[in-house]
Structure 1
């Protein structure tokens, strides 16, 4: 357990970093700017982080850990095909700072975050379904990649405001696409 002062300083650094992301691209954010915004000196910054990249990695880790905690709480890993659980957890996570996530979704500089979330989805497939299906690991990996990449692509499209649907509609569409694909739209010959 970290000392409260350490937690408070790290929290101030992360908050400063997040506020700067909304103003400029990550490569242009400096330690001096973060320190100034966090109301600390550079020396204090370096007591907690070696570089701005270390702040980025902690930010990603915190977000992914929070997402995993929510998914576990909602029993997603035992209901892996219930995409609505994933979307609800993502919505709760992102509601805290939707402007940040919309900004991230609209910039290719932040692909690392969506890649990390995609890894969580794919890893959960591997850990929870691999033993239950009778296909080769290579084929399984392709299915897991397809599902996780598709889920992230749909969500990013929504964050970028490229589609005008509600969060609930988005969850429903993604779930139907996962379960039924295009087959649901093809008329059946009687």
Structure 2
């Protein structure tokens, strides 16, 4: 297959994946996660079920892909914000993480709210924590002094608190601006993990 043909296939693959993810986002606006089927996704994305299975295998595989993409986008922003001069484990990375997280959440508040309403928070936590931990390690964003158990505890504590706090905010009257919630979350998490970071 020539280079031009390979690019065409790659473009079609990306387009199909994007169509399926966008279909999921439209469906999650109205339906609980357990009400969304592969057939409904395929219909909404205007692809056949076989295409869905080739790309994601299962609904869980789709959720994993969405989580992986979200984590990658957030950590890409963190790396851009702090550059190579900031050592792993530096608090500037933690601040950059919260800034990137807030921007990510702010992109489509209604969609984010539907995720919190229609997907159990334990499942959201589980789906995001695995790629986050793996990518933090792979990218060298954690201090080398942190053991695997320390990093896992830090992420469990931090992400668990964040999920609870953002879920509370999305389902509240939102009288506190998202930026302020994120600032407070950063202070709470940083205070709670400061010994592990030092």
TM surpasses 0.5: yes
Question: Number of paired residues?
Answer: 178
2 CA distance for matches of 1:55 and 1:123?
18
Aligned to 2:11: 4
Q: Give, in angstroms, the shift of residue 13 of structure 1.
A: 1.0
1 CA distance for matches of 2:49 and 2:149?
48
Deviations 1:98-147 (A, max 9, x none): 21211222345253223444452798499623517xxx876776455434
Q: Give, in angstroms, the shift of residue 42 of structure 1.
A: 2.4
Aligned to 2:143: 129
- TM (norm. structure 2) is 0.69
User: Is the contact made by 1:35 and 1:45 (CA closer than 8 Å) also made in structure 2?
Assistant: yes
- TM (norm. structure 1) is 0.72
Q: Give, in angstroms, the shift of residue 151 of structure 1.
A: 3.4
Gaps of 5+ in 2: 1-6, 193-198
User: Is the contact made by 2:125 and 2:163 (CA closer than 8 Å) also made in structure 1?
Assistant: yes
Bigger relative contact order, structure 1 or 2, given CA contacts below 8 A and separation 6+? 2
User: Is the contact made by 1:12 and 1:38 (CA closer than 8 Å) also made in structure 2?
Assistant: yes
Measured on the aligned residues, the alpha-carbon RMSD in Å equals 3.4
Q: Give, in angstroms, the shift of residue 27 of structure 1.
A: 1.9
Q: Give, in angstroms, the shift of residue 12 of structure 1.
A: 0.6
